[in-house]
Amino acid sequence: MEHPRHIIVASCLVRNQKGEILLVRHHRRGWELPQGRIEEGEELLAGLHREVREETGVSIATPELAAIWSKCSPPTALIFGFIADYLSGEITASAETPDVAWCRPDTAAARIEHPINRDRLQELLDHSGPLRYLSYTTGPYRLTRNY
């Protein structure tokens, strides 16, 4: 029996002291929350901290797990959505993310073109309670579960 393979992704809504949130512009996907694949054998929180630092140049405080998404279309993925406060560092662009910006929460969604990433942002902005689970398919994008 072959073991299932899923891509594991960590995504983070980073907030600063002014209440702004951090967005990155990926060269293919446009504006989105800092996020990236967890490497094989890497611990989830270590991967989250690494991805945020690589894409933005900043460090974050201890994150809160707020939502988990299952992408049920190939390539399948589990996306862990975290919320964290900015800790230190200056925002810095990278080859993968040529633009990094602090944005007001009420204007951030307008920058994000991809509906999946826009919904992910809104879910984390609206978070106020227990961990949420959502699943979706792509081609076209459709939310299939929302708990």
Residue 101 CB contacts under 8 Å (≥ 6 apart), including other chains: 22, 23, 25, 91
Domain ranges of the chain: 7-144
Task: Give the chain's count of helices (H) and strands (E).
Answer: 3, 10
Q: pLDDT tens, 76-117?
A: 999 999 999 999 999 999 998 999 999 999 999 999 999 999
pTM value is: 0.95
The reported pLDDT for the residue numbered 113 is 94
Looking at the structure, give the CATH architecture of the domain made up of residues 7-144.
Alpha-Beta Complex (3.90)
